[in-house]
A = this chain, B = another copy of it.
Amino acid sequence: MDKQNLKQAGLKATLPRLKILETLENNPDAHMSAEDIYKVFMDSNDIDIGLATIYRVLTQFESAGIVCRHRFEDGRAVFELDHGKHHDHMVCMQCGDVAEFVDDVIEQRQREIAQKFGFQMTDHCLYIYGICSNCQSQSK
């Protein structure tokens, strides 16, 4: 994902946009909120990008199909690069960690259910919420 992709999407290759892309690429497993990305910039003192810009850019990226926006149960909106392959999410309610998975049985079953209802499926998402193994072992 680079300048070319941005231009194809009709977006100028500005520093904020490139930095946001770079940050998402550097954290492929972290589903980051706008604030998360902002904090990364704050910590590396040489980048000065406003939070409003991050929100704007992420929304543009979503429209352009560059990122996916998810709304987890705790209300925060998080983003990940859209690599084109569908997957579902398992969210730890304690540490916020997100694992991704795909299950062919479930995928198939969803198609069958939609068909049974005469429903023309355009998208679907499955969230499993709970406590990840890491947090379980750390709990007192």
Binding site for B on A (CB under 8 A): 69, 71-73, 75, 77, 90, 92-93, 99, 101, 103, 105-106, 109-110, 113-114, 117-133, 136
Which residue, A105, A113, A118, A125, has most C-beta atoms of chain B within 10 A? A113
Q: When the two chains form their complex, are residues A110 and B99 in contact, meaning their CB atoms are under 8 A apart?
A: no
Return the contact of A71 from the options B75, B123, B128, B130 (Cβ within 8 A): B75
Closest residue on chain B to residue A71 by CB atoms: B71
A137–B117 Cα gap in the complex (Å)?
13
Residues from chain B with Cβ under 8 Å of A124 in the complex: 126-129
User: How often does this chain occur in the complex, in copies?
Assistant: 2
Which residue, A71, A125, A131, has most C-beta atoms of chain B within 10 A? A71
Residues from chain B with Cβ under 8 Å of A101 in the complex: 113, 117
